[in-house]
Structure 1
């Protein structure tokens, strides 16, 4: 048992108060906790009461920490739990904070999933698979993820994937169409677009290349292969190596043979 002999406001944080018991500094509390327990000068307190006050204050500090974390952007329950665990807070205190945040409507994983999905749809080229993976990593439950992804319709996915593909097709003009298609599909897979979307994309975008564009791509790849192989091989073996290399890159064998004639003429 002890008596609170003095209460002073902290200089650097005017929402916290220092408590002195029997003339000695004991601990500090938030003003909300101070008011909740009716702490005042002359009040007698025992160890159990002090323990309850300190526990409540720990919850308040953790709550303030969580709210500050939320002030930058929306967070999932898992993100908040992980943030508080990093501060080595007791599990019971974290549970209390999560409960309070839910009561305050500060945590709503479904709304988070919908907002996150909407942002990705409107501001990025990411597909549904990538979004699903990110939400899962952030601790959102599957039903919430699927409900949020309902906003990303199949038609929207095709439109986005088609725009990406058309842009990349221009980037890969120096590759054969087969290699360009492989690179584009790999890119779309990394961004989270399913095979069904890719199938429709190839049916909708213009992939035709004129004769000059096809030759430019073959000539570009042929020059690269020639620089690498001509220093190691000659004659029949050189030609076979060139044919194998360019055929694997998706070029027709008759076009490759024509290129070899051109390269020979240029020497």
Structure 2
């Protein structure tokens, strides 16, 4: 048992107060805790009451930390829990903070999932698989994820994947169509698009290249292969190695033989 002999407001934080018991500094509390317990000079307090005050103060500090964390953007419950765990807070305090945030309507994982999905659809080239993975990592439950992804219709997925594919087709113009297609499909799969979307993409975009583009691609790859192989092989062995290399890169035997004739003429 002790008596509160003085209460002073902190200089750097006017929402916190220092409590002195029996003439000595004891601890500090938030103004909310001060009001809740009716703390005042001359009040007698015992160890149990002091423990209760300190617990309430720890909850208030953790709540303030969580609200500050939420001030930058929406967060999932898991993100908030992980953030508070980094401060080495007790699980009971974290649970109490989450309960208070739910009461205050500061946490809504469904709304988070819907907002996150909408942002990715409107501002990124990510597909539903990637979005699903990110939401799962952030702790959103499967039903909420699936409900949020309903806005990312198959048609929207195809439209975005077509734009990506047409852009990449230009980037890979020096590759054979087969290799370019493989690279584009790998890119789309990494971004979270399904094989069904990929199939529809190839039905939607122009896949035939102009003859000049086809020749530029095999000539570019042929020059690279020639520089690598001509110093090691010659004659028949050189031609076979060139054919094997370029065939694996997706070019037809007819075009490869034409290229070999051109390279011979250029020597």
Per the TM alignment, residue 60 of structure 1 is displaced from its structure 2 partner at its CA by 0.2
1:9 & 1:16 partners in 2: Cα distance?
6
Per the TM alignment, residue 35 of structure 1 is displaced from its structure 2 partner at its CA by 0.2
2:153 & 2:13 partners in 1: Cα distance?
50
SS of equivalent to 2:3: strand
Which string of whole-angstrom CA distances, capped at 9 and with x for unpartnered residues, describes residues 21-61 of structure 1? 00000000000000000000000000000000000000000
Alignment match, 1:88? 88
2:58 & 2:248 partners in 1: Cα distance?
66
TM-score, scaled to structure 2: 1.00
Alignment match, 1:17? 17
1:133 lines up with 2:133 in the alignment: yes
1:211 & 1:65 partners in 2: Cα distance?
63
2:232 & 2:80 partners in 1: Cα distance?
60
Alignment match, 1:156? 156
Alignment match, 2:107? 107
Correspondence 1:42-61 to 2 at 5 A: 42-61=42-61
Which string of whole-angstrom CA distances, capped at 9 and with x for unpartnered residues, describes residues 65-122 of structure 1? 0000000110000000000000000000000000000000001000000000000000
Correspondence 1:200-219 to 2 at 5 A: 200-219=200-219
2:255 & 2:113 partners in 1: Cα distance?
51
2:207 & 2:255 partners in 1: Cα distance?
19
Correspondence 1:247-266 to 2 at 5 A: 247-266=247-266
Alignment match, 1:166? 166
Which string of whole-angstrom CA distances, capped at 9 and with x for unpartnered residues, describes residues 181-224 of structure 1? 00000000010000000100000111111111101100000000
2:213 & 2:110 partners in 1: Cα distance?
49
Which string of whole-angstrom CA distances, capped at 9 and with x for unpartnered residues, describes residues 1-34 of structure 1? 0000000000000000000000000000000000
Alignment match, 2:238? 238
Query: Which runs of 5 or more residues in structure 2 are unaligned?
Result: none
RMSD: 0.4
2:210 & 2:45 partners in 1: Cα distance?
89
1:181 & 1:5 partners in 2: Cα distance?
79
Alignment match, 1:62? 62
Which string of whole-angstrom CA distances, capped at 9 and with x for unpartnered residues, describes residues 132-160 of structure 1? 00000000000000000000000000000
Alignment match, 1:98? 98
Alignment size in residue pairs: 267
Alignment match, 1:31? 31
Query: Which runs of 5 or more residues in structure 1 are unaligned?
Result: none
1:207 & 1:110 partners in 2: Cα distance?
40
1:65 & 1:211 partners in 2: Cα distance?
63
1:4 & 1:145 partners in 2: Cα distance?
53
Alignment match, 2:6? 6
1:158 & 1:119 partners in 2: Cα distance?
17
Per the TM alignment, residue 232 of structure 1 is displaced from its structure 2 partner at its CA by 0.9
2:154 & 2:255 partners in 1: Cα distance?
39
